[in-house]
């Protein structure tokens, strides 16, 4: 936070190229990054000066284009950004003014924004995934895992990416103590099925935990309990379906 800017680093050819993307105020908090098939970066982030959700990408001339996606109140913390199969942007984030979870997408040509969950003080540590429509389905399915501070629970908000009828519903994944901070989601093939796997921090016990859908119920496991461990988690799946996690001890 020396200058309060959003910066971007790209490595290759034995060196790093570092750019200042946005310097208009205190910006660049809660960044989330994805790269499309053309190698163009897409970044969601929080503008603290204007308490807004912002989005940055480059055009075909490699010039950064900055967009304020949502500035209705204090919004934009805890962002998570993914690109769908068509290269469109999906962002989950917190509405701090109302204590809600919000979601934005430009899949249909303009920014569509909705409040996805409202029960309690929710929307912390969001982590997002999007499944493309299958078979007769018309719209992608959106999965947003987040922390419910009111109840100390890990929650899932799920619905269709359909601005005409979002249909988001929220359920509890883990409520055993104060759990669900530092949430990180990966969605992929495990045992021949597409599943969500979530790493997160158990505040009550100071443990790293993992949750996944077992077919009928959510299965939760303690991955590491050796001291106070599990903050700042990140999770990935390899090509064979094995789960990998990094985290802070």
Reported pTM: 0.96
Residue 49: left if φ>0, alpha if ψ -120 to 50, beta else—which one? alpha
Closest to 161 measured CA to CA, from 105, 209, 122: 105
What are the residues whose beta carbons fall under 8 Å from the beta carbon of 220, sequence distance 6 or more?
173, 174, 176, 209, 210, 211
Q: One digit per residue, pLDDT tens: the chain, 249 residues? A: 789 999 999 999 899 999 999 999 999 999 999 999 999 999 999 999 999 999 999 998 999 999 999 999 999 999 999 999 999 999 999 999 999 999 999 999 999 999 999 999 999 999 999 999 989 999 999 999 999 999 999 999 999 999 999 999 999 999 999 999 999 999 987 777 788 999 999 999 999 999 998 888 999 999 999 999 999 999 999 988 899 999 999
- Asked whether 188 and 180 are in contact (CB, 8 A), the reply is no
Residue reference for tokens 């921090």: 201
Half-sphere exposure in the Cβ direction for 131 (13 Å, CA): 18
Predicted pLDDT of residue 232 = 98
């Amino acid at each position: 936070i020396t200058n309060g800017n959003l910066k971007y680093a790209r490595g290759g050819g034995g060196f790093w190229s570092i750019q200042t993307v946005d310097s208009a105020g205190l910006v660049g908090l809660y960044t989330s990054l994805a790269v499309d098939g053309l190698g163009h970066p897409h970044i969601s982030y929080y503008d603290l000066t204007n308490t807004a959700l912002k989005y940055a990408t480059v055009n075909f001339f490699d010039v950064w284009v900055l967009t304020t996606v949502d500035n209705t109140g204090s919004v934009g913390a805890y962002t998570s950004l993914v690109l769908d199969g068509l290269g469109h942007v999906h962002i989950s984030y917190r509405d701090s003014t109302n204590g809600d979870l919000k979601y934005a997408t430009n899949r249909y040509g303009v920014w569509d924004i909705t409040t996805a969950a409202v029960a309690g003080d929710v929307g912390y540590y969001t982590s997002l995934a999007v499944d493309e429509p299958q078979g007769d389905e018309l719209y992608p399915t959106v999965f947003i895992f987040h922390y419910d501070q009111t109840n100390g629970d890990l929650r899932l908000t799920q619905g269709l990416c359909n601005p005409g009828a979002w249909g988001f519903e929220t359920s509890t994944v883990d409520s055993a103590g104060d759990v669900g901070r530092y949430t990180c989601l990966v969605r992929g093939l495990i045992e021949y099925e597409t599943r969500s796997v979530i790493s997160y921090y158990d505040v009550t016990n100071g443990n790293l935990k993992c949750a996944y859908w077992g077919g009928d119920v959510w299965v939760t496991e303690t991955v590491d309990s050796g001291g106070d461990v599990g903050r700042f988690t990140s999770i990935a799946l390899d090509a064979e379906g094995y789960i990998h996690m990094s985290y802070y001890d």
